[in-house]
Amino acid sequence: MNGIVVQKYGGSSVSDPERIRNVAARIVDAHRSGRPVVAVVSAMGDTTDHLIELAHQISPRPPRREMDMLLATGEQVSIALLAMAIQELGEEAISLTGAQVGILTDGIHMKARIQEVRTDRILRELEQGRIVIVAGFQGITPGDDITTLGRGGSDTTAVALAAAVQADRCEIYTDVDGVYTADPRLVPDASRLEWISYGEMLEMASLGAVVLQPRAVEYAAQYGVVLRVRSSFGDGPGTEVRGVSTMENARVVVGVTHDRNVAKLVVVDVPDRPGVAHRLFAALAAEEINVDMIVQTTKARQVTDLLFTVTRDDLARSREIVDQVARELGATTVQDDASVAKVSIVGAGMMSHPGVAARMFGALAEAGINIQVISTSEIKVSCLIDATQAEEAVRRVHKAFHLEELAPEGARDPLLP
Amino acid sequence: MNGIVVQKYGGSSVSDPERIRNVAARIVDAHRSGRPVVAVVSAMGDTTDHLIELAHQISPRPPRREMDMLLATGEQVSIALLAMAIQELGEEAISLTGAQVGILTDGIHMKARIQEVRTDRILRELEQGRIVIVAGFQGITPGDDITTLGRGGSDTTAVALAAAVQADRCEIYTDVDGVYTADPRLVPDASRLEWISYGEMLEMASLGAVVLQPRAVEYAAQYGVVLRVRSSFGDGPGTEVRGVSTMENARVVVGVTHDRNVAKLVVVDVPDRPGVAHRLFAALAAEEINVDMIVQTTKARQVTDLLFTVTRDDLARSREIVDQVARELGATTVQDDASVAKVSIVGAGMMSHPGVAARMFGALAEAGINIQVISTSEIKVSCLIDATQAEEAVRRVHKAFHLEELAPEGARDPLLP
């Protein structure tokens, strides 16, 4: 089928009946322009948070399979209401859950990964002239258990569907009108990017820019799905996320991100034996906890401190595991600290431009901000700092790289000669 | 598998986390007594009403397929929370939606009928020692669309499951401790029945006693499933619903019911031609609207008035259809009245005891209550009266048949010599 458009609408775009009608109108516009439309929708507003709260009133650590059973209802409500709103506008629409579409995932509840997307039901409905509304964030295992894809999983649903039905376009509608060089709420003169590469977007998303889920970007890169991030409230062009030609790939730094969903753990006085780090991180990996920054400090002969970060959401579970492993290893003590934040710069051009990291450290030093941990990759530099200084840090670093001047595509990069 | 118990818990039994924990404890008790337990659960409290309200904010007449998609989330939330609460008590539990169980229905959305119940998944889970929690009220069509079974459909789910897994017991937990000779909120001295026959229960349920859904009773009679209606808050024996031996079948009247979910329609001055009634009622039937009492009054040569009742929920839809058919038939006008109620007496013994209907009419007449329509069957007499007089009517009729003296099983019936 030709010309299919996949549109994804986040929770804030469908948070009440009024907004659902607004989204319905946009979808109907696209449909009336002659394109088959598949819309992927998240749960309304803070529904997911309410459901989590309800579960916690029953159980401090609810079984993950049942959490997925519970959370999947959020999107099911949105798709039904959106299909109603579209039919109210006179077009035929049909809502489908993840299970009904056939979004098959592995069995890792609450963080499931998509393994296969069936297209027969969607294509059959589109061929009958219907608008298809799909519940984001959810799938089903081959054994018929409901799963969810983790935070922001609806983006991944949209990209996976776009790849599966070979859509012409994949539009991610959100409450901002594109990807910015920094969060405009913190940095009022942040610039909107006309485009960003998959690699840069992946780092931006991983480092705290909430516009897109990292896994969705990864998936888009893998299948060559061109994304467009747009506002569901305006008509701006948004930001395109795509592969890059070498000519375009000239911007040194495209953005500054900050992430408060970080917590630090320190295992103090671990015996400095081979296999110690493996023991600890294998135990965390076994519980599907992602460890981010890791620093090992040798303090004296035969003991070291092991410092690492996890998401704040994972802190309680991590602490339990780390306490036990630390006891077994004979470490003195374990400390944790949730009052940290990670500030990062991202840009594919920094590979070929030395001095970028130094400029960032300088900007932080000037502001009297202490760097607790540094981690770098080819296209990003991250610094762990005190959470209370995060906003100031973003503004200082944004300024240091003149990102307010990062003009639309084709303009000269301020860091280039 | 031997000794399976099916328990059904209504919405008021799981209306908040506290009550969900209470239900979990009851289920765990049954499980620990060594029986495999399947629990069927409704949506929490007034969730379904809230969802309907939400839909009406989007569309005055939401498409029925999408209503089912929306409403089915209510039970999905309850089963997840109940499974969590049971696991919190240390037993293994697994929740299953109607689709996951394989409760196959026809495609009449919002009033679907169960056609087949698959048992393999349930039995597999029970064999692994798990408590199985099933979403009531919902099913799936062979084409994979979610359906709901209509008002009180969770009872039907429980009975259908009990029949399918050949359960030893089917217990219906509700907020009353059994079936009463009248609604105890209206008639404080109403008596609890030790048992009631399928036929009587069916009439009681059809006529407004809300303890059981008529279709569930019908299904139970068809498959010989013995039901026990009990309170989820106490430990009383409740009321057994079952077939009867002739010896027991000696009670003339077992209960007085009232139903306010009734509305009256009158088509005035319909030409008195053959096929007129068929034309009208076929149009209503095509929209799945059940017509209850029907009276045709011949007023003058060649014109008649056609009076009938529908549920109040169906009034708006019915009126649209009736208006159109009335125009086509050349009727003068259509009137409707939602301020009516139906008061009925039920009892298998009235077949062989003349004078029962007369005693009811007498009691109403004494109280100055005007009867608008009468309808009778072998085991019930119903009178349509003004809604404001319903409570008084129930009390008067209950008194007239001395139902407050209807003692437990085996006692002499007050109407017998």
Residues B17-60 have pLDDT tens digits of: 999 999 999 999 999 999 999 999 999 999 999 999 999 999 99
Across chain A, what does the average pLDDT equal?
91
pLDDT value at residue B245: 58
Per-residue pLDDT, A386: 96
The reply to whether residue B84 touches residue A73, judged by beta carbons under 8 angstroms, is: no
B377-386 residue pLDDT tens? 888 999 999 9
Per-residue pLDDT at B415 exceeds 70: no
CATH of domain A5-175: 3.40.1160.10
Percent residues over pLDDT 90 in chain A: 74
pLDDT digits (tens, 9 = 90+) for B291-325: 989 888 777 678 888 899 999 999 999 999 999 99
CA distance B194 to chain A (A): 36
Binary contact (A63, B99; C-beta < 8 A): no
Cα dihedral B4→B9→B13→B19 (10° resolution): 40
Confidence tier at A415 by pLDDT (50, 70, 90):
very low
Residue A370 pLDDT more than 60? yes
Tens of pLDDT, residues A62-76: 999 999 999 999 999
- What are residue A118's phi and psi, to 5 degrees? -80, 145
Angstrom CA distances, A348 to A205, A211, A246, B35, stand at 14, 19, 11, 63
Nearest CA in chain A to B89: A59
- CA angle, A45 as apex, A42 and A51 as ends, to 5°? 85
Of B54, B69, B88, the CB nearest to A79: B69
Please tell me the predicted confidence (pLDDT) of residue B250.
62
Chain A CB within 8 Å of residue B103 CB: no
CB A185 within 8 A of CB A159: no
N residues, chain B: 417
d(C-alpha A199, C-alpha A243), whole Å: 8
When pLDDT is averaged across residues A94-102 and rounded to a whole number, the result is 98
CB A409 within 8 A of CB A194: yes
Phi-psi region of B39 (alpha: psi -120 to 50; beta: other; left: phi over 0): beta
Report whether A373 contacts A293 (CB < 8 A): yes
Task: Supply the pLDDT for residue A245.
Answer: 58
| Matching residue, tokens 């859509």 | A167
pLDDT tens, A247-274?
555 678 999 999 999 999 999 998 888 8
For residue B134, pLDDT beyond 90: yes
Q: Per-residue pLDDT tens for A277-303?
A: 889 999 999 988 989 898 887 776 788
A120: contact with B, CB 8 A cutoff: no
Give pLDDT tens digits for B335-370. 999 999 999 999 988 877 878 999 999 999 999 999
A223 is in an annotated binding site: no
Q: Report the pLDDT value the prediction gives residue A9, as an integer from 0 to 100.
A: 96
Cβ–Cβ below 8 Å for B59 and A20: no
pLDDT grade, residue B278 (50/70/90)? confident
For chain B, the average pLDDT equals 91
Residue with tokens 């818990």: B9
ipTM for the assembly: 0.80
- Write down the pLDDT at residue B249: 55
Tokens of A187: 């940095």
In this prediction, residue B38 carries a pLDDT of: 98
Record: contact A84-B144, CB cut-off 8 A? no
Residues of A in contact with B146 (CB under 8 A): 97
A185 is in an annotated binding site: yes
**Token pair for B200:** 């009587």
pLDDT of B114 over the 60 cut: yes
Where along chain A do its domains lie?
5-175
Which residue in A318, A333, A336, A322 sits closest to A269, CA to CA? A333
**Band of the pLDDT at B182, cuts 50, 70, 90?**
very high
What is the per-residue pLDDT across A203-236, written as a single tens digit (0 to 9) for each? 888 776 677 888 899 999 999 999 999 998 888 9
Contact flag B83-A72 (C-beta cutoff 8 Å): no
Residue B282 CB-half CA count within 13 A: 5
pLDDT digits (tens, 9 = 90+) for B199-230: 899 888 877 667 788 889 999 999 999 999 99
Q: What is the pLDDT of residue B247?
A: 55
Q: Diameter of chain A by CA atoms?
A: 76
